[in-house]
Amino acid sequence: MTLYAGIDCGTQSTKVVIVDSESAQILGEGFASHPLISEASGRREQHASWWTDALESAFCQAINNAEIDGKQIAAISVSGQQHGFVPLDQQGHVIAPVKLWCDTETAVENQMIIDALGGTQGALAQLGLMPQTGYTISKILWLKTHHPELWEQLDTVLLPHDYLNFWLTGVRVAEYGDASGTGLLNIRSREWDLHTINLVDDSGRLQHALPRLVTAETCIGTVLPDIADRLGISHQTKVASGGGDNMMAAIGTGNIKPGIITMSLGTSGTLFTYSDTPIIADSEMIAGFCSSTNGWLPLICTMNVTSATTTIQNFLNLDLNGFNHALEQTAPGANGLKMLPFFNGERVPQLPQAKASIHNIDSNNLNAHNLSLAVVESATYGLRFGIDLFRKQGIQANEIRLTGGGAKSAKWRQIVANIMNSPVICVTNSEAAALGAAIQAIWCDTLTEQDDKTELLAQICQRFVHLDESTLVKPDHTHVSCYEALYQDYLSLLQTEYPEVAI
């Protein structure tokens, strides 16, 4: 029995899974939450020590739940929330709270960077993607502008998963997939982009602070003895390169070859797919990230999925069963009730200041059933907008693999299949990022010079990633054409309310 651990450090919590590579089973899981610093200014921060404390707690839970000796764990890998900025000094101390992916306090700095790159087209030409406010690059400029005394101490720029790798091993490196979400990496060449770096800082400090880049199958080192003792694992335990949470979730859903789209029906909505070549999109709304499998991972993120449905659910004072029951009580189109579900603004399309709105209300359709269905349909139309962006770039999918809380609803799964006109199915494991990290750890530990890297990873994924056939839903062709017309109505409403949106 050879054991491996996958760690997923998200915004709300850290999760750990321990797997047996021989039986391809998850033996134990652990979980620990961390708080969030949130202010009206758009500040969204955490302290890095919260992550390491949570990692220790979750790791011990996972070992206890697995009922194993932690010294049997051969290798571990870390998945981390993308885009965060962990600034270290020369001694390896974190010198400021970590600005997260959802921090918008750096919007001014981000626009300055886009302008300096020559606007959207200039950014796409230079980097292969356009930096969004949440990306790391604007956080770096924000620190330099607002805290020059801390800037003078900056020695290393790390992302959240890079920092946990550093805490585990003492090694300061970055991996292509997560690094592509900084706004500082040329996704074509997989190199730090010197031109963009100099736009932020031409003194050489930032260039020096960016860590060495490694490929996805790299084992970066072994766990430091004192950390290993705290975790109850061997001093010889290897640490794989790890990656961003979306990159690890791609592995954990078996999305490592073209033709599959992973769609998350979570607080926000995420769409991503694998590509063997860089995707330099016409639209800045597609993030042409690298994958953590040495390929590419074009990604789209919408802001209003279960965050929107939960808002309506709470407004109607329904529990989850009541909300799902309400969805079954009315026909597609919610009896004419329409919604733009932009409770949190929107990223795709780019409408950060947008507000939610309800349209076409009359005395017959304003009820809980129609409101419930309208918010689910409109949130799904937002994801269809993203699918269409993919299709315009020639990205096609034979299958959609659903994750996230919304995917547990059979009715919602059917709505997705009908609106996308594609089969949808869930994976059996809900912790896709943590499982993806564990799979990567196995890959890095067992890969030999004689192995085909891609084929070995595919074999491991095939053993660990299982589709839940009971969740398979195919498009109901009696409703596909109906939903196509309803989606076109949604686009017309969207453009009426926001004429700047290009359809």
261's enclosing H/E stretch is: strand 260-265
The DSSP secondary-structure symbol of 44 reads E
Q: Which residue has the tokens 């991503």?
A: 272
83 among the known binding-site residues? yes
Distance CA 179, CA 197 (A): 13
Which is it for strands 13-20 and 3-9: parallel, antiparallel or unpaired? Answer: antiparallel
Burial annotation 409-441 (CB, 10 A radius, 16+ → b, else e): bebbbbbbbbbbbbbbbbbebebbbbbbbbbbb
Q: Which residue in 103, 245, 319, 388 is the catalytic one?
A: 245
* Strands 156-158 vs 86-88: parallel, antiparallel or unpaired: antiparallel
- For residue 218, what are its two tokens? 């790299």
13, 34 contact by CB (below 8 A) = yes
CA distance 76 to 65: 17
> Residue 150 in contact with residue 87, Cβ under 8 Å?
yes
- Residue 87: name the closest of 98, 100, 72 by CA: 98
Tokens of 198: 């100099």
**CA dist list (Å): 161 to 110, 152, 175, 295:** 23, 24, 10, 19
For the record, the structure tokens of 145 come out as 């502008």
Structure letter (DSSP) for residue 275 = B
Closest to 4 in 3D by CA, of 467, 460, 399 = 460
Q: Could you tell me which of 369, 372, 355 has the C-alpha nearest to residue 313?
A: 372
Q: Is the Cβ–Cβ distance between 181 and 136 less than 8 Å?
A: yes
Whether 34 has a binding-site annotation, put simply, is no
Q: Quickly list DSSP for 310-361.
A: HHHHHHTT--HHHHHHHHTTS-TTGGG-EEE--BTBBTTTTBTT---EEES-
Torsion-angle region of 49 (φ positive above 0: left; ψ -120 to 50: alpha; else: beta) = alpha
Let me know if 245 is a catalytic residue.
Answer: yes
Angle at 311 between CA 481 and CA 344, to 5 degrees: 85
In sequence order, which ranges of 80-215 are alpha helices (DSSP H)? Answer: 107-117, 119-127, 136-146, 148-151, 160-169, 176-179, 194-200, 205-209
| Neighbour-count burial of 255, counting CB atoms closer than 10 A to its CB (0-12 exposed, 13-18 middle, 19+ buried) | buried
The catalytic site residues sit at: 245
| Residues of each annotated binding site for substrate | 82-83
Per the annotation, binding residues are 82-83
